[in-house]
A and B are shown apart, each in its own frame.
Chain A
Amino acid sequence: MKPQDFMEALGGVSQEKLDALAKWQEAGTPITGKAPAQEKRIMQTAAEPVPTQRRRETMKQKVKTKASAAQFLPWKFGIGAAVATCAAIAVSIGAGIISMDKQQQMQVGMSGETSVAEQISKQETNAEKTNHEPVPLIDNLCAFSGTDEIAPAISDNGLVEVWRSMNDAAEFIEYDQIGKLTNCSDYFTDALFAKYDVLYAAHPLKKYLPENTLRFQLSGGEFDADGKLHMTIGALALDELPNSWASDAQRLNSVNHYWFYTVPKNSLPEITAWEFEVDEYHVGELDETAKDAAAGDDAIYQFIKTTDAYQKWDAAVNRQLYITWGKSKPVLPEGCEEVQSADAAHEPVEIIEKLISSGGNDSTMMKLPPEGAVQVLRSVEDAEACCRYSSENVAGQPFDFRNKLTEDLFAEYDVLYFAFKDEQKPQYCYSVDLAGGSIAADGSILKLDFHALMFDPAHLPSDWCSVTEPDWNTYYFYTVPKNILPDLNAIELSFEEYPLGEIPDEILAHANDLVDIEDNGYITKHTKLQEYLETTQEYLDWVMSMPKPKYISWEDNTQLP
C-alpha cells in the first residue's frame, strides 16, 4: 500500500465521523491529550487552570483602556494590562473619599431584588448537591473604567449578569457604538456566544474600594446557599498615597468599573442577587526612598513589589479565577445543560511554589526505596525527620534544606515533598517538569503528571548515556496551602512526552561545552545543547505546556483528611 492509497481511502470515512469532525473543528474543542479513562478526571477539574501566562498575554492583547490611561497615572510594572487599567484608575482614589472597616472580608454592597431560593426549591434534588465544579472565568475579554456616559447606567450596587447571546449584549453594544468609547463591543459576536457565555460585572469604584487603593482586580465569586452571587475584588492599598498621585482622586466620584469574562456555555444560572466584597491587602507605609518624590514612580513600584501584601495580593488575583458554589447550586435556566461534572468532590489544591528540586544519590543524600517517597511536611520537625543524610560521614544528620524549610514558612504553608528514582523517567528524556497531580480515591496515593522533553533516539548528544544510574534520585519540595492535603504514602508517576526535533550535528558533537548566557544582567553558564534547545519551538511548546498555576485535584469520592 502507498500512502496515496490510504489518503484516497480516507475519503470514504463515515458521514457520522465527518459530522463529528466538522463540529469539533467549528467548536475549537480544547485537546486534553488524555485517554478516556483519564478524561473523566480532567472533566472533574474542568476548572483546571488556563496557564496564567497565557491568560496574562490574552489580557494584554485585549484590554481596552480608553477611560484610564489618558487621565490617570499609568502603572508600569508587573502584571497584565487589565490590572494596569484598574490600577491606573485605582491609584487615583483619594483620601477621604470613602471610609471603611478594614476587615479582610469587607462587605461593601448589596443588590438584587429577588432571591433565587424559590427556583432552588423547585428542583430540590439539584439543590441538595453540595459539591459542584467551580466555573472558570476563562478569559478577560475586556475591562475598563468610566462614567455612566460610557456604558449603560448601573445602580449604586453595581450589576452582575450572564450574557448568553448578542441580544443580551445589544444594549451595551448600542451604547458603545455611539462614538466607539471602549471598543469592547468588538468582542461580542455570534461566534463568541456560540462558544461561551459572558459574565458581566460592573460596580462603582468609589463605593467599593478602600481608601488609597493602588491596584485592584476581580478575584472570583461564590454563590451562597440562597443563590446570591458574592463577587470578590482584591484591592492593594497604601496607608497614604504619595502627593503626586492623590490629585486625581476627585475624578473618581462618578466612575464605575466594568468587567467582561468568558465562561463555559450554560455553566451559570441567571443572576438575580449579587454582592461585591473586597479583600484588602495593605502595603502599609512607603519606605523613605519610595517617599522621596524625586525618586520617581519606579522607586515606589519597586518598593511595593517587595512587600508581603503585594505578594499575597498578586497570588490571590493573578491566578485562574472561578465562580464557586456554596452549599446549594442555583437552578440553571431552562435549556441549559450543566457542562461540568456535578459530582466532583473537592476544589483543586494549588501547588504554590517550587522551593527545592535537587538531584542526588542514595549514598550522599536521602536514600529512596524503589517506589520513591512522598510526605506532606507540616512543621520543621517533620522536615528534619524526613530530610536526613544517608552518607556514612553524617548519616542521620538533618539535610541542609533548613534555610528554606523554616518555621516562618510552616506558619503559612505545608510542604509537599516527593522524590523518585531517575530510572522511573522515560528513556531518552532530556528534562521533566511537574504539570500537576491528583489524589486517588483512598486519599493516600498521589498521582503526579510530568511533562517530559524527549530526545529523538536517532539524534542524541555524543556523550549521552542512556543508562540511568540506579541510585540517582530527584527530590522535590513544593509549598501548598496549610492543612488541605491529607497524609500521603505513595506516588504514581506519569510522563506525557514532548518530542524534540532533529538537533544539528555540530550541537550534538559539543553538547556539553559551556557557553555564557546573559540573564537579567547576570552571566550564567549553559551548555551548548541547552542554549540551542531553548531557541527551538519544541522546547517552547514544552515550557508552555506546563499549567500555571499547577493544581492537585481529587479523584471521585476522595476522602478529605
Chain B
Amino acid sequence: MTEDEKLLRLFQARDERALKAAEQQYGKLCRTMAYRILGDRQDAEECVDDVLMKLWDTIPPAAPRSLTAYISGITRNHALNVLRAKNKAKRGGKQYDAALDELSPYLKSDEDMEDRLGTIALQDAINRFLEMLPEETSMIFLARYYSMQPIKEIAAKHSSTVGRVQMILKRTKEKLRAFLKEEGLL
C-alpha cells in the first residue's frame, strides 16, 4: 500500500491521525503554494490549517486518485479566496504577482469578467486550450500559472534551462492570446 493509500484510508476511517499524517506528507507543498500566492508566512500557515480541515470535511465522500493534485487544487483555490477576502488582489505573493505581470501583456482587454457565466466560459476555453497543447507544454504552463512554481525551479527540476522554459512559456502565451481572441474572450 502506498503512503497516499494509507493516508486516504485514515481519512475514510475518520481517524484523526490523518491530519497529522497529511501535514507531514503535504504540509510543505501546501505551505509553499499558499506562500507563493499570499506572500505572507502567517497567512500561508493559516491556509495550511484550513486546507487540512477541508480535507477532513471532503474525504470521504471524495476519494481522489492523486492526493497531490487534490491538495494542490484545494490549497490554490483557498489561498486565492483568502487573498480576495483580504482585498490584496493587487499585491499578493511574489510568484502570484510575477505570474500576473507575465500574463498581463497577453490578456489585457477593456472588458471586465465579472459575471459567473463569463468565468465558466473562460474555464471551458482554458481546458480546451490545454488539450490542444503538446503534453509537455501544458505541464510547463500549468506548473508556472497553476502551481505558480518559479521558472528557475521548473527548469531545475525538469533538467532544462531558464531560457528554454521562458521561451516555451512565451510561445504558449502568444498561442493563448490568439486562442482567446478567436473564442471572443479577449
Contacts and interface: CB of A to CB of B under 8 A. Distances in A.
Contacts of A538: 162-163
Which of A7, A35, A39 has the most CB atoms of chain B within a 10 A radius of its CB? A7
B13 interface: no
Interface in B139-163: 139-140, 142-143, 145-147, 149, 154-155, 157-163
A87 B153 CA distance: 36
Interface string B155-186: 10111111111111010000000001000011
A15 B185 CA distance: 23
B162 A7 contact: no
Contacts of A498: 161, 163-164, 167
Interface in A20-45: 20-26, 28-33, 35-36, 39
Interface string B112-133: 1100001110110011001000
B165 A31 contact: yes
A8 B134 contact: no
Interface magnitude class on chain A: 35 or more
A523 interface: no
A178 interface: no
Interface string A493-513: 000111100000000000000
Interface string B68-87: 11101100110010000000
A269 B51 CA distance: 44
Interface stretch (B40-48, B52-60, B102-110): B102-110
Interface string A1-29: 11111111111111101111111111011
A542 interface: yes
B127 A13 contact: yes
Contacts of B155: 31
Given A30-B158, A31-B160, A12 B123 contact: yes
Nearest to B142: A21
Contact of B146 (A10, A28, A32): A10
B139 to A, nearest CB: 4
B126 A26 contact: no
B73 A11 contact: yes
A23 B136 CA distance: 12
A22 B147 CA distance: 10
Given A13-B142, A542-B163, A7 B130 contact: no
B98 to A, nearest CB: 11
Contacts of B24: none
A459 to B, nearest CB: 15
Contacts of A8: 80, 119
Interface in A513-561: 537-538, 541-542, 544-545
B130 to A, nearest CB: 6
B138 interface: yes
B63 interface: no
B73 A18 contact: yes
If over half of A's interface residues share one DSSP class (helix, strand or loop), that class is named, otherwise mixed; here it is: helix
A9 B119 CA distance: 6
Given A1-B113, A30-B160, A20 B167 contact: no
Contacts of B77: 11
Given A3-B107, A13-B126, A545 B142 contact: no
Interface in A420-434: none
B163 A17 contact: no
B175 to A, nearest CB: 12
Contact of B161 (A14, A22, A25, A541): A541
A3 B104 contact: yes
B55 to A, nearest CB: 15
A12 B136 CA distance: 20
Contact of B164 (A7, A21, A31): A31
Contact of B143 (A9, A21, A35, A537): A21
B160 A25 contact: no
A378 to B, nearest CB: 36
13 contacts: A1-B112, A1-B180, A3-B101, A13-B142, A21-B69, A21-B72, A21-B147, A22-B72, A31-B140, A31-B168, A33-B168, A498-B163, A545-B163
Return the 5 tightest CB-CB contacts between A and B, nearest first.
A12-B123, A22-B68, A31-B160, A5-B113, A18-B69
Given A7-B103, A28-B157, A33-B168, 13 more contacts: A3-B103, A5-B118, A6-B145, A7-B96, A10-B145, A15-B69, A17-B138, A18-B70, A31-B165, A39-B136, A499-B167, A541-B162, A545-B163
